[in-house]
Amino acid sequence: MKQGELRRALIVVTGLCFFLFVYLYWQQSSRPLHALILTYRHVYSSTRESLPPQWTWQCVNQRCERHQITGGNVKITSQSTCGMLCGTMQLWPLPTGPVTLGSKALVFHQSQLQFEAVASGEAKEMLEEAFVAFNDSILSLVRDDNYLNEKTDILRFVVRVSVTRNDPTTRLKLNTDEGYTLTVKFKNGDVLAEVGARSYFGARHGLETLSQLIWWDEYEGSVGSLKVLKGATVQDAPAFPYRGLMVDTARNFMSIESLKRVLVGMSASKLNVFHWHLSDSQSFPMLLPSVPQLAKTGSYSPQEVYTPDEVKALVEFARYRGIRTILEVDVPAHAGNGWTWGPQEGLGELAVCVNERPWSLYCGEPPCGQLNPENPNVYDVLEKVYRDLLDLSGEREIFHLGGDEVNLECWAQHFQKSNANNNHSDLHDLWGEFTGKALARLQKANGGFKIPNVIIWSSKLSKRPYVTKYLDKNQITVQSWGASQWTDTPELVADGYKVLASHVDAWYLDCGFGRWRETGEAACDPYRPWQTVYNHQPWHQLRLSKKSFLGGEVCLWTEQVNEWNLDSRLWPRAAAFAERMWTDPSQDTTTYSIHEDVYTRLSVHRERLISRGLKPEAMWPTWCSQNPGMCL
């Protein structure tokens, strides 16, 4: 090719490349942003939903058998309707009292619901809010709004809720009667569902159970419809007063919306304590009115902060759903970032060993940090913190002080470097004195009144000989988180302490995902499947009285969790824990096998959680759900 021809060819190629670049740039910049965002709605497209049904289910020997639809004369029954009318009940957690369920169903519209509250004062106002949540649960089942054009079997669906006890208390207490009765009858064209309880919280649980007797039948009519059992009676009450779930929002920030999903799952499973682990050595994301410096210096960003109004709103959101909220600021350990502002305000070092390296000498994981026990200003700050936490939560019966994993070497090195006077030959005594001072400031923050139930994490301080020296058994409950084979729990019970069980080998839901700092298994691996969570019954396995346990709590630490995998780490395992705490069903202690009914009911409950906006992890292949008993 001649030089002139080569030049022309290069000019043409350059021009084409320039044109292509301009075109692609224009296409990218002119594309609307929302086209790049995919929103999960449902796995089935509208086209697929309109296809004729493929399977029908028949009740054979108390199981729903799947059959292919081969002709037009086959009676078609959906899996959901067969499951509700065949075999065992689909309630979760399993009621503790007698239950009778009808074998027929009625078609109704959500618009036919009418609510009657027989209560007074704030309890009546709260029941109205509870019915809004109940109504939302029913609406979440609907897959096609056109079902409102279909005929129904009833005239009205009346839900009457009565709180019979003249008790104005609308805050959950450890002695609150959470029991309820529920009856569903069909008479003169109306469905009448009556819930009776001695407290608002029992009434709310009754509404939850009623919502679980309602389902969506995709085969009913032309587009599907809502159905309810024609008759039912349920008598129910929990086995334990404290049925908790802890979420850590210090390692990774969780949005308020994601925490609301946690509370929705808890209420659906009748868990009643949301333990919010607010701060740790990594961050302090809570904006406290009296001590704003903690969030200002300790949050990851200004956007990753919980405001007082947000916290109060979340506490109320939980209360309407039968859940009390406990706010924990862990001390004296697990306190680093957020506590470094003392010197600039003339308060001295509030925390020591903050971000110290090598971290393995001063704490269990990076970054390090512990409060300075010999700085009197620390206790002034703690009093302000405690006053704010009490005000924000409205909780005056239970308080979580933290108190775990104090590293005595951190304090020893601090005293050595600063030449501070230390008169303790055993630094456990310094730790015990700190705890006593913190408890005194908690009482002062509570207007001089002692909080009757203070929870601390199990630690070396809660072991002999320190436990009886520094921890008052009449006030302190120890949250026993060590392995269930350890001696901690039975020794605490023997010494007269109440125990809150959170054994790491069964009820820590963050375990099983390897080390986050290097390769290999983590200290608390392996993964705890829902069966392990469900089978753990420490009072029985340790041969201890159930009365020695305040209850139990599943824990989710978040080194490897944020709001994008929060749901799957919790559910349905936290629901399996919920039945252990509500029902405490008997089990085969020889094989620890789980009855087929439990698998079926939990699978249905998992679908219920999905309908309410949660994204739980899978239990098994869908084939197992469609063919009950065939996978076990």
- Known catalytic residue at 405: yes
Say if residue 507 is exposed, middle or buried (CB neighbours under 10 Å; 0-12, 13-18, 19+).
Answer: buried
- Known catalytic residue at 540: no
DSSP H or E run through 288: none
Q: What end-to-end distance do the CA atoms of the chain give, in Å?
A: 76
CA separation for the pair 163, 199 (Å, rounded):
6
Among 309, 248, 239, which residue's Cα sits nearest to residue 276?
A: 248
Cβ atoms of 441 and 379 within 8 Å: the answer is yes
Phi and psi dihedrals of 255, rounded to 5?
A: -70, 160
- Known catalytic residue at 510: no
Q: Are strands 242-248 and 549-556 parallel, antiparallel or unpaired?
A: parallel
**What is the 3 state secondary structure string of 93-118?**
CCCCCCEEECCCEEEECHHHEEEEEE
Which residue in 153, 177, 380, 405 is the catalytic one? 405
Cβ atoms of 507 and 577 within 8 Å: the answer is yes
Phi and psi dihedrals of 182, rounded to 5?
A: -140, 130
CA separation for the pair 367, 385 (Å, rounded):
22
CA distances to 400, 493, 500, 538, 621 from 547, rounded to whole Å, are: 21, 10, 11, 12, 40
CA distances to 92, 134, 202, 323 from 237, rounded to whole Å, are: 13, 19, 8, 15
Which residue in 205, 334, 400, 503 is the catalytic one? 334
Beta bridge partners of 233: 100, 183
Q: Is 79 helix (H, G, I), strand (E, B) or coil?
A: helix
Task: List the beta strands (DSSP E) in 16-123.
Answer: 55-60, 63-68, 99-101, 105-108, 113-118
Q: Is 157 helix (H, G, I), strand (E, B) or coil?
A: strand
- How is residue 16 written in tokens? 């084409």
Cβ atoms of 243 and 129 within 8 Å: the answer is no
Which residue in 280, 349, 356, 374 is the catalytic one? 280
CA separation for the pair 505, 508 (Å, rounded):
7
Residue positions annotated with a catalytic role: 280, 334, 405
